[in-house]
Structure 1
């Protein structure tokens, strides 16, 4: 039997909008009895303040670098936007969007499938993770090249919801997932738990690998980016928003800001690191320039994918997604088949990529780096990007 611990730490502290989200027995999220001010009221513009919510319970990471560099360079063109860390519950990023407490979430395909299965009428509008970002971390010398050998072993997760990420990744490699044990070791301590001898492996992802090294967690990895054909995290909104012309126009401009940030960082990764470090100085101090650059190079590789086969930043490969949905239907992770084209759309990709690429490159080339960042040899860092892969 597959087993996952599901104990949770209750929310504490001041009352805020997150406290009144309730999950029914079927997984549907509803508002608590007290309600929230402003829900359902008219807005002066399509969204008021447009809120993007993280899937990981924190913003102090390098994962969201396109937003921070886009914000710094003015690529969001005066749009009223904000980022929220959200709770560490792995499904919060879809639940909050579904009930209108956020406007865009960034779920993994597994968590997105959870939303679809539980009747949350969401749609993916911008596919960030063109390659599979997910990996399994192992203590040095204990890594597995063939994931079938993970059967009978224990995988540590930061959130129980992450099982929906790992099961398809394993099944695609021929693993009988009923023979794998899962333990929720908590955010942000699941990596530390692996290092201390608990479990046999832990879920990881590109970018996090470098950030873990910065905290003394040095593992070896089975890398999805090298071995998996499954898609990774994507941007989702309420499907109803795509029926509102004003909201569609807003989303086009908003996603253009992200696409410009992605293009800028592709041209000058070190500048993108500095934009994040300026936003989070403590994180910068704890991570350092070289590992920051390593993290962004790892993630940029995932976000870009094979751009020659894509129609711009954020483009969905429907075939890859259909393969994922068919796999999880076969596994029983969802109860009925999903048509990828019914829950994903490329209609905003053309407008999102309709920007002056030459100007963005000029902006990136002209960016004045700090002396510390100038000293980082990009190509040397790039050359070591996969050194931690299981040999």
Structure 2
């Protein structure tokens, strides 16, 4: 027996607290049933803003697998995945109503919530550090305290790593305004390599994707990222209460299809690595040592996307999210108090997980590699 779709969500006047409205439509029988197409139901569509210029990164295999395997399609849902310029751009598209949902990084989502925008995470896709703090292996700095007085490279002004970096510095009594200098040095390309090679920066704070680019170029870095960052949310299905009110059924099916794609990949990781190679082949081009950025990011993602409870794919860590919001808030007096429960919606998790796991596991077993 399938559960009904979760209720629509409304914003209470003047607050980000969410309240549920009742719905009476039942879920398509095909979703977790016999796998047949949702024939009698009118098809729905949503637009998903992906926080990358190439639509996918090697971490986002849950969405790619669900799309490739037809799980969204059999739920009667057409999903358009749209590349954006990054997390900030994806967040802007969501808030402006140009996209129904998106996967901006947790800092982009958190900052939007902390300035009072009506945004909500309806499905946590991954947890753990997206951004980190790194120093040259032989540079003499071995901890965050050693960054006092340092020149620290960042990807760009306002990059998602900046809030994390500033909070980590403050925790060690280092003022990020007066005690260090933040210098934009790009996102792992030639400009970044030159800055590290010529010593114009003593450290580099950026996304792990950028670090993988340096690693495949043969550059050794020491990771100083505080362990607490690994408890934080990384990415989710971020949307607005208005979309949840307008399209509760479509968003519910999107959550379920995504959970199915994630479960498939966790049952057969090589199948999804294979799909990623087909979707973003450049990322999987190997260096002379046989290492690729795509493989490095994919291996890390297997830890970050794997849910704490496989029966509750997409569930939120409320405590970790609250710690994350509090940390981001500590970096600016302009941010308001936000309770994690106010921006986390768990109405969709039960429905998302009510699918036929045996059938999806069989799909995973039967998959034949195409791009290896």
Aligning the two structures, in what range does the TM-score lie when normalised by the shorter sequence?
Answer: 0.7 to 0.9
Equivalent residue, structure 2, for 1:202: 204
Output the CA distance in 2 between the equivalents of 1:193 and 1:84.
Answer: 33
Equivalent residue, structure 2, for 1:355: 355
Paired residues for 1:222-371 under 5 Å: 222-223=224-225, 228-244=230-246, 247-285=247-285, 291=292, 292-304=294-306, 307-308=308-309, 312-332=312-332, 334-369=334-369
Equivalent residue, structure 2, for 1:67: 63
Deviations 1:288-334 (A, max 9, x none): 986444421211201225x14x8622211111111222233344354
**The one of 100, 106, 110 aligned to 2:107:** 110
Is 2:78 the partner of 1:76? no
TM-score, normalization by structure 1: 0.72
Equivalent residue, structure 2, for 1:94: 91
Output the CA distance in 2 between the equivalents of 1:214 and 1:253.
Answer: 38
Q: 103-112 or 216-225, which moves further after superposition? A: 216-225
Output the CA distance in 2 between the equivalents of 1:333 and 1:108.
Answer: 22
Structure 2: which 5+ residue stretches go unaligned?
1-41
Equivalent residue, structure 1, for 2:182: 182
Output the CA distance in 2 between the equivalents of 1:353 and 1:193.
Answer: 47
Output the CA distance in 2 between the equivalents of 1:193 and 1:97.
Answer: 36
Deviations 1:80-125 (A, max 9, x none): 222222124x521211111112222222332223212444311111
Equivalent residue, structure 1, for 2:163: 164
Structure 1: which 5+ residue stretches go unaligned?
1-44, 374-391
Return the offset for 1:217. 4.4
Is 2:222 the partner of 1:192? no
Output the CA distance in 2 between the equivalents of 1:290 and 1:359.
Answer: 34
SS at match of 2:224: strand
Is 2:68 the partner of 1:51? no
Return closer, same or farther for 1:105/1:161 CA change in 2, 3 Å cut-off. farther
SS at match of 2:204: strand
SS at match of 2:233: coil
CA contact (8 A) 1:264 1:361 kept: yes
Higher relative contact order at CA 8 Å, sep ≥6: structure 1 or structure 2? 2
Output the CA distance in 1 between the equivalents of 2:140 and 2:265.
Answer: 32
CA contact (8 A) 1:138 1:220 kept: yes
Aligned length: 322
CA contact (8 A) 2:123 2:349 kept: yes
Return closer, same or farther for 1:210/1:186 CA change in 2, 3 Å cut-off. closer
